[in-house]
Chain A
Amino acid sequence: MKFIRKFTQKTRTSSNRNRDENHQGSAIDDGHRPLDTDLDINIKRFREETGNSPDLKVRQFELGSNPQIRVAAIYNEGLVDQPQLNEFVIQPLMLSKDRGRLSEASGEQVFHFLRNHALPVGEVDTVENWNEVMNTVMDGNTIIFIDHFPVAIGCNTSGGEWRGIEKPTTELSIRGPKDSFNESISTNISLIRRRIKSPNLWLEMYRIGEITHTDVAIMYMNGIVSDQIVEEVRQRLTGIKVDGILQAGNIEQLIEDQTMTPFPTVYNTERPDLVSRYLLDGRVAIIVDGTPFVLLVPALFTQFFVASDDYAQRYDISSFIRLLRYASFLISLLGPSIYIAAITFHQEMIPTPLLFSLAATREGVPFPALVEALLMELSFEILREAGIRMPRAVGQAVSIVGALVLGQAAVQAGIVSPAMVIVVSITGIASFSTPAYNLAVSARLIRFVLMILAATFGFYTLTLAMIVLVAHLSSLRSFGIPYLSPYAPFQMDDQKDALVRLPLWMLATRTKAINKKNIKKMEPSGHSMLKKQNNRPEGERHEE
């Protein structure tokens, strides 16, 4: 997909090499067979190989005179930019002023003429075998076959319809920028490039998927990112041999360090500002064509609690909100299981008056606390899943049913106790306050295991489970970086932006767990500016 180069300031040879390798890998029988010299045979073969698909158009022309040389333009109707095709490919072919030059020309002369003089498009390419022909057409470019010459011309005409840049739908923010990625890889790359205007923002292109040939780009800040990580990403990406990559999630699951874990070790976001932020922090972005989410590696546990707003607001507010997020993550993980354990095993822990009122509400409930909790949690999960999948129009009906039937009616019928409804709803709401959806989901999953453990052995197994959970987290690695850093292994310098966020002028270094070189991200002058500001009130007093 060469048009991408428009956006790249550095063309990487490795990606070229990789593209060739991919072609070899996907070569079907004689994919590398050269083109025929005869135009009709070429067109016939193209027609046969594509099953006469009517959206692949073949337009024939006659060029020159004495004898006339026939040429044919082949393109995919839906993938080309129609006005561009008409104006810069079809029109010159039909109306070229220099046609006179072509009298008594051979196929080769026509080829050179077309290539060098006739086609006013940004990118023209030489295509020599069938594989390239197919790829060029499937990318939305136009192929021009020339009679009596076994080499074709590919010109960049790709375009077509994409969703525009819209507001983010899953990661909302109050003060942050309001653009989000869309399905077009070139748009997504440009959104990032627009934020980081540096020649050191390097891009590498890969094509992954033996059949789908999906474009996958990796972006990183040269000079900041650790070479090991980039190399690791390259290796894992080129190691993927699969017929189709349909979305970034597929890539994520094929390159993550550890599959047997409920926790995500690859970060994804639909916000260009967050991607830019993490690129500057030495991470590698993986952009997959057709997905409005960009993957970022390495991902640390703390990263999933960061929202874009954290850096838009003042540090005290951000810190408070971030602590709140950690707390609500714990609630969404442990809420029901603590309630179950306390009710089932450790009633003595509950203050007596509260215990009385709890006991009174549970009086008519025919189930043990675990069954009650599982019932409510499951119905809540079903509601939530239905809420995501259902058509917008029936949304109200579902929420009425959910709120009334599951909440009020279940309590009034004496099937569940009001206290349980409170616990479950707090848990549910708490799980929404984790900024990263994929981490919130893993908490939901683990919650059920913890509930069963709490109902069988109370706080003892709950405590053991927490230790095991932390041990599991600290055994994870994301592209070689310990997942739980900066907590374990403890990294003092990274604490400034982990549990809390300190003032921006104190965030003078990049994340140390990830970056080995080029640690400093803020000049001392930035600090002194702040000092000056601090001194201003004094100066004003002087004036008075």
Chain B
Amino acid sequence: MEKIRISPRQLFCLIVLFELGSSLVIPLGADAGQDAWLAILAGLIAGLLIFQVYLYLYRQYPAIPLTGYIRKILGNVLGWPISLLYVAFFIYGSARITRDIGDLLFNSVYDETPLFLLHFLMLAAITYVLHKGFEVLARTGEVFFGIVMILVCVGILLVIFSGIVQFTLLQPVLENGWEPIFQAVVSQTYTFPFGQIICFAMILPYLAKPGRARRAGMTGLIVSGIILSLITALEISVLGADLVQRSTFPLLITLSKVDIANFLQRLDALVVFTLIIVNFFKISIFYYSAVIGAADLFKVDKLRSLILPIGVIILFSSMNIAGSHAEHSVEGDFYLKYTLELFVTVIPLFLLVGSFIRRLLGNRGESGFSTEQQR
């Protein structure tokens, strides 16, 4: 492992940017109708719970990433393939988000630009930054955390001041009881975006103060959850639940309705700007998780040498994962319901059980586990 140290504050900023990535524009928790904002908060709670599992595993193995302790817990024979799956999962994740932003840009502005070029530019920028090192990404994250927060606040204020908000559209609250909310949580808001924090199981070993991981992670999740919930509530109260549900990018439509003094109009550019920033960080973190995982699995000493190859893989898979935006969306549903569920919940829970068993064995003092850990 290279010597990288990020501060808890940087971790917090990265988590917020990561959680906002992609999820900021799409209709989140739309299955719950006008209660989508509640579904997000419920998803947040579920996400916080699963985050405890990752934190527990992190405390057991504070020096090694997820792919490392999978093999420690499950043994090399079972653990290695699963770790490899995680690397593939991270690569797919970053390719997916690259495609998200590519499709958005292609559909909104750059309809004559090849999609490949849009993806290439994004990944080229990310590769450059990652090549400078993860610390540079973390510091850049600190700067852009501030910028994104300002943009989000300005955006929310502008929507409110333009007088298009009807809070009555949020009523009735809990029209059909809690069930649709649970539906939405299970099918989406828990895994996406909150469950995706599994990426940080790869990043956490770099934290300078391991004791602060919990606080930084939890506040990061909560802050991003509240922002997402607020924005969704705002979207619904401007557009109505029905329109939010049916549109691809409801936030874009919401902000394009802003018109203040005939001068501040068409602020959807603000959204696209924010989205490029947050997606940049989300792709970077998935990307870097894949790099860490691959380096860990294939015993590569220099992480840097893997950045470019994995970047190329992401670039081409971002083109090949779907033939069209429609296909991409359909695959998205499957990804949310099954793929994410498997990698975010099922495997970590197995690991949790496995680590309990290991611990019990270790307490009897008959396994080489403790020495292995020291090594």
- What is A's interface to B at a CB cutoff of 8 Å? 345-346, 348-349, 351-353, 457-461, 463-465, 467-468, 470-472, 474-475, 482, 484, 487-490
Expressed in whole angstroms, the minimum distance between the Cβ of A468 and any Cβ of chain B is 5
Asked whether B110 lies within 8 Å of A464 as measured between CB atoms, the reply is no
* Of the residues A345, A346, A352, A468, contact of B125 by C-beta under 8 Å: A468
Expressed in whole angstroms, the minimum distance between the Cβ of B151 and any Cβ of chain A is 11
Q: How far is the CA of A345 from the CA of B137 in the complex (A)?
A: 29
Asked whether A459 lies within 8 Å of B122 as measured between CB atoms, the reply is no
Asked whether B136 lies within 8 Å of A474 as measured between CB atoms, the reply is yes
Q: Please choose the segment from B80-88, B126-134, B224-232, B364-372 that sits at the chain A interface, where 4 or more of its residues have CB less than 8 A away.
A: B126-134
Asked whether B139 lies within 8 Å of A474 as measured between CB atoms, the reply is yes
Residues of A within 8 A of B265 (CB): 351-352
Asked whether A460 lies within 8 Å of B105 as measured between CB atoms, the reply is yes
Residues of B within 8 A of A353 (CB): 262
* Of the residues A465, A472, A490, contact of B132 by C-beta under 8 Å: A472
8 Å CB contacts to A: which residues of B112-141? 113, 117-118, 121-122, 125, 128-129, 132-133, 136-137, 139-141
Q: A464-B122, A475-B133 are in contact. Are A349 and B269 (CB under 8 A)?
A: yes
B-side interface mostly: helix
Residues of B within 8 A of A349 (CB): 266, 269
Q: A457-B110, A490-B142 are in contact. Are A471 and B269 (CB under 8 A)?
A: no
Asked whether A475 lies within 8 Å of B280 as measured between CB atoms, the reply is no
Asked whether A348 lies within 8 Å of B140 as measured between CB atoms, the reply is no
Expressed in whole angstroms, the minimum distance between the Cβ of A344 and any Cβ of chain B is 11
Asked whether A460 lies within 8 Å of B266 as measured between CB atoms, the reply is no
0 or 1 for each of B271-308: is its CB under 8 Å from A? (1 = yes): 01100110010000000000000000000000000000
Residues of B within 8 A of A352 (CB): 265
* Of the residues A346, A457, A464, A484, contact of B269 by C-beta under 8 Å: A346
Asked whether A475 lies within 8 Å of B132 as measured between CB atoms, the reply is yes
Q: How far is the CA of A488 from the CA of B9 in the complex (A)?
A: 10
* Of the residues A345, A351, A471, contact of B109 by C-beta under 8 Å: A345
8 Å CB contacts to A: which residues of B98-117? 105, 109-110, 113, 117
- What is B's interface to A at a CB cutoff of 8 Å? 7, 9-10, 105, 109-110, 113, 117-118, 121-122, 125, 128-129, 132-133, 136-137, 139-144, 146, 262-263, 265-266, 269, 272-273, 276-277, 280
Q: A457-B110, A464-B276, A488-B140 are in contact. Are A471 and B129 (CB under 8 A)?
A: yes
Q: How far is the CA of A538 from the CA of B226 in the complex (A)?
A: 46
List 19 additional A-B contacts (Cβ < 8 Å) besides A458-B109, A467-B140, A482-B139.
A348-B266, A459-B272, A460-B272, A460-B276, A465-B125, A467-B125, A467-B280, A468-B128, A471-B139, A474-B140, A475-B132, A475-B133, A475-B136, A487-B142, A488-B140, A488-B142, A489-B7, A489-B139, A490-B142
Residues of B within 8 A of A461 (CB): 121
Provide 11 A-B residue pairs closer than 8 Å at the C-beta atoms, listed in order of the A residue. Answer: A460-B110, A460-B272, A463-B273, A463-B276, A467-B125, A467-B140, A467-B144, A470-B143, A471-B139, A490-B10, A490-B142
Q: How far is the CA of A461 from the CA of B129 in the complex (A)?
A: 15
Residues of A within 8 A of B136 (CB): 471, 474-475
Asked whether B129 lies within 8 Å of A457 as measured between CB atoms, the reply is no
Residues of B within 8 A of A488 (CB): 139-143
Residues of A within 8 A of B276 (CB): 460, 463-464
Expressed in whole angstroms, the minimum distance between the Cβ of B302 and any Cβ of chain A is 17
Q: How far is the CA of A345 from the CA of B269 in the complex (A)?
A: 12
Expressed in whole angstroms, the minimum distance between the Cβ of A75 and any Cβ of chain B is 56
Expressed in whole angstroms, the minimum distance between the Cβ of B253 and any Cβ of chain A is 14
Residues of A within 8 A of B280 (CB): 464, 467
Q: How far is the CA of A93 from the CA of B122 in the complex (A)?
A: 80
Q: How far is the CA of A484 from the CA of B132 in the complex (A)?
A: 15
Residues of B within 8 A of A467 (CB): 125, 129, 140, 144, 277, 280
Q: How far is the CA of A458 from the CA of B118 in the complex (A)?
A: 11
Residues of B within 8 A of A484 (CB): 139, 143
Residues of B within 8 A of A474 (CB): 136, 139-140, 143
Asked whether B144 lies within 8 Å of A457 as measured between CB atoms, the reply is no
Q: How far is the CA of A352 from the CA of B277 in the complex (A)?
A: 27
Residues of B within 8 A of A475 (CB): 132-133, 136, 139
Expressed in whole angstroms, the minimum distance between the Cβ of A218 and any Cβ of chain B is 29
Asked whether B140 lies within 8 Å of A470 as measured between CB atoms, the reply is yes
Residues of B within 8 A of A464 (CB): 121-122, 125, 276, 280
Expressed in whole angstroms, the minimum distance between the Cβ of A281 and any Cβ of chain B is 22
Q: How far is the CA of A349 from the CA of B276 in the complex (A)?
A: 17
Q: How far is the CA of A16 from the CA of B196 in the complex (A)?
A: 62
Residues of A within 8 A of B266 (CB): 348-349, 351
Nearest neighbor of B6 in chain A, beta-carbon distance: A489
Asked whether A471 lies within 8 Å of B121 as measured between CB atoms, the reply is no
Asked whether A471 lies within 8 Å of B142 as measured between CB atoms, the reply is no
Residues of A within 8 A of B139 (CB): 471, 474-475, 482, 484, 488-489
Asked whether B269 lies within 8 Å of A459 as measured between CB atoms, the reply is yes
